Structure 1
Amino acid sequence: VPPGGELTPAAGARVHDVIAGRGFHWQRRIDVTLAGVVELRPGRRGVVLVNELPLEDYLAGVITAEMSGSCPAALLEAQCVVARAWLLALTEPKHTDEPFDRCNDDCCQRYQGTDDLSPTALAAARRTRGVLLLTPSGGVLDANYAKSCGGISETPVAVWGLEKPGVSPIVDAPPDASERRFFPVTEANLDEYLDGDWVRTTRCYCSPNVVPVDAIGRYLGRVDTTDDYFRWTKTYSRTELEALLRTKLGDPDELVELRDLRVRARGVSGRAYVVEAEWRDGHGRSVVRRIESEYRIRQVLHPRFLYSSAFAVRPERDADGRLTRVTLRGAGWGHGVGLCQIGALGMALCGHEYETICRHYYPKATLSRAY
Structure 2
Amino acid sequence: MLRPVALLLLLLSPLHALAVETMRIAMGDSQGQVRVSGKRLSFASDSEDARFSPLDQDSAVVRRRGSRLELNGAPVMGTAVRFRAGVDARDAGVPGSSPLRAGDMQVRGDVVVRLYKDGLQLINVIPLEDYLAAVLGSEMPVSFPPEALKAQAVAARTYALQKKLETYGSPFHMGSSVLHQVYGGVNREDPRSLAAVEATRGEVLTYELAPIEAYFHASCGGRTESGQDALQRNLPYLQAVDCPCGSLPASRWSATVSDAELQAALGQSTEGFHVTSRTATERVNRVATAGGLSLDGAALRRKLGYTKLKSLEFDVERSGGTWHFNGRGYGHGAGFCQWGAKALADEGLTYRDILLHYYPGTELQQLY
Residues 330 and 130 (structure 1), Cα distance of their counterparts in 2 relative to 1, 3 Å cut: same
How far apart, CA to CA, are the structure 2 residues paired with 1:358 and 1:117?
23
- Higher-Rg structure is 2
Corresponding residue number in structure 1 for 2:158: 85
Q: Tell me what 1:128 maps to.
A: 200
How far 1:309 moved relative to its partner?
Answer: 1.3
- The aligned residue for residue 205 of structure 1 is 245
Letter in structure 2 aligned against 1:366:
E
Higher strand share: 2
Q: Report the CA distance shift for 1:129/1:291 in structure 2 as closer, same or farther (over 3 A).
A: same
Decide whether aligned partners of structure 1 residues 289 and 268 sit closer, same or farther in structure 2, where only a CA change above 3 A counts: same
Structure 1 7/159 Cα, relative in aligned 2: closer, same or farther at 3 Å? farther
Q: 1:292 aligns with which of 291, 296, 312?
A: 296
Change (3 A) 1:119 1:325: closer
The equivalent position to 1:13 in structure 2, one of 73, 94, 100, is 100
Q: Distance in 1 between matches of 2:309 and 2:109?
A: 35
CA distance in 2, matches of 1:331, 1:264: 19
SS at match of 1:205: helix
Q: Counterparts of 2:148 and 2:341 in 1: how far apart (Å)?
A: 6
Output the CA distance in 2 between the equivalents of 1:275 and 1:91: 36
The aligned counterpart of 2:253 is 232
Aligned-partner residue type, residue 265 of structure 1: S
Q: Residue 313 of structure 1: SS of its match in structure 2? A: strand
Cα pair 1:273 1:297 within 8 Å, conserved: no
Counterpart pick for 2:224 among 153, 156, 168:
153
- Once the two structures are superposed, the pairs formed by residues 212-361 of structure 1 within 5 Å of their partners are 228=250, 230-246=251-267, 255=268, 257-278=269-290, 287-294=291-298, 296-302=299-305, 305-316=308-319, 324-361=321-358
**How far apart, CA to CA, are the structure 2 residues paired with 1:310 and 1:90?**
28
Aligned length: 280
For residues 280 and 87 of structure 2, the distance between their equivalents in structure 1, rounded to whole angstroms, comes to 46
2:36 alignment partner in structure 1: none
Gaps of 5+ in 2: 1-84
Q: How many Å apart are 1:144 and its aligned residue?
A: 0.4
CA RMSD of aligned residues (A): 2.9
Once the two structures are superposed, residues 252-295 of structure 1 have per-residue CA deviations (whole angstroms, 9 ceiling, x without a partner) of: xxx3x4212222232233222322133xxxxxxxx21122252x
Higher relative contact order (CA 8 A, sep 6+): 1
C-alpha deviations, 1:6-53, integer Å up to 9, x for none?
569x95123454xxxxxxxxxxxxxx3201111211224521111101
In 2, are the aligned partners of 1:78 and 1:358 still within 8 Å (CA)?
Answer: yes
Gaps of 5+ in 1: 18-31, 173-203, 214-227, 247-254, 279-286, 318-323
* Identity fraction in percent: 31
In the other structure, the counterpart of 1:102 is 174
Superimposed CA distance per residue, residues 289-329 of structure 1 (whole angstroms, 9 cap, x where no aligned partner): 122252x1212234965211111122347xxxxxx442211
Per-residue Cα deviation, 1:97-152 (whole angstroms, up to 9, x for no partner): 973111111111111112222222212111111111122x3322111001111111
Kindly provide the CA deviation profile for residues 72-98 of structure 1, in whole angstroms up to 9, marking residues without a partner as x: 22122101111111122239957x997
Partners of 1:120 and 1:359 lie apart in 2 by 23
Instruction: Report the Cα distance in structure 2 between the residues aligned to 1:52 and 1:3, rounded to whole angstroms.
Output: 16
Shift in alpha-carbon separation, 1:36–1:363, aligned structure 2, 3 A: same
